[in-house]
Amino acid sequence: MSRPVFLFDLDGTLLDTDADLAAAVNAARAALGLPALGVDAVRPHIGWGLGHLLRGTLPAAQHARLSAAREHFHAHYRAHLLDHSRPFADADAVVAALGPARCGLVTNKPGAFVDALIERLGWRFGVVVAGDTLAARKPDAAPLRHAAEALGAEPSTVTYVGDSEVDLEAAAAAGTAFAAVAWGRVAPRAPRVVERFAELLDAEARPC
């Protein structure tokens, strides 16, 4: 039996980035003359891509200034990628144990940020699909199918590990299995919940 292949989301799954993303959102808001938001107000908008994040955290009256907000967000986030962001427990270990042949990353985060983060964290993936790698991004099926193909796996033999609604929807669209991390907001609705990443390694002898 072939060994299972896993694809991972980044924000909220492998890496706790909420505080740094909220800080970048607030840098953009400050530049537009708006007060800061708490992390809890920003968190529900994370995972769908930067455009969604900014539209969700700016008043509708400010949406005409999204381009300026994006520039301020980019400038702040580039300089503060890992001020507060930390891998969740055992994330380093599971990425290293699976290795590039059986481990890929599929995220809606812009590629420039993804590349910088994984380089600084020392993570190696067999394929990385960022929010701007393809014409479509999650919840479209294309990113997961592209990643599975790059790893030489059929989507039906792959497990996608994520934390949010967009991850669950993307897995369903692509025909992959889905496992939610227990700390993710979609865990109560997920068909499988991972309490700790070591479970993925413990279950390698079983089909996913």
- Whether the predicted pLDDT of 208 surpasses 70: no
* Claim to verify: residue 73 and residue 100 sit in the same structural domain: no
Task: Report the share of the chain in percent with pLDDT over 70.
Answer: 96
Structure tokens at 4: 């299972």
Residue 207 forms part of a structural domain: no
Domain boundary among 31, 57, 79: 79
In three-state form (DSSP H/G/I as H, E/B as E, the rest C), the secondary structure along 63-120 is: HHHHHHHHHHHHHHHHHCCCCCCEECCCHHHHHHHHCHHHEEEECCCCHHHHHHHHHH
Domain boundary among 47, 64, 79: 79
Is residue 158 a contact partner of residue 171, using CB atoms and an 8 Å limit? no
* Claim to verify: residue 160 and residue 89 sit in the same structural domain: yes
* Claim to verify: residue 55 and residue 140 sit in the same structural domain: no
Mean pLDDT of the region 19-44: 97
Residue 134 forms part of a structural domain: yes
What helix, strand, coil percent values describe the chain, rounded to 5?
50, 15, 40
Domain boundary among 37, 58, 79: 79
Which residues, at least 6 apart from 140, have a Cβ–Cβ distance to it below 8 Å? 170, 173
Residue 208 forms part of a structural domain: no
* Claim to verify: residue 30 and residue 103 sit in the same structural domain: no
Residues designated catalytic? 9
Q: Which domain holds residue 187?
A: 5-16+85-202
* pLDDT the model gives residue 201: 84
Measure the CA–CA gap between 157 and 110, rounded to whole angstroms.
27
87-113 tens-digit pLDDT: 999 999 999 999 999 999 999 999 999
* pLDDT the model gives residue 204: 54
* pLDDT the model gives residue 205: 39
* Claim to verify: residue 127 and residue 89 sit in the same structural domain: yes
Residue 60's DSSP bridge partners are: none
Measure the CA–CA gap between 148 and 154, rounded to whole angstroms.
6
* Claim to verify: residue 128 and residue 187 sit in the same structural domain: yes
* Claim to verify: residue 46 and residue 129 sit in the same structural domain: no
Amino acid at residue number 139: P
Out of 47-51, 115-119, 148-152, 175-179, least confident range = 47-51
Q: State phi, psi for 90 to the nearest 5 degrees.
A: 70, 10
Mean pLDDT of the region 18-39: 97
Work out the pLDDT band at 127, boundaries 50, 70, 90. very high
Structure tokens at 127: 């394929």
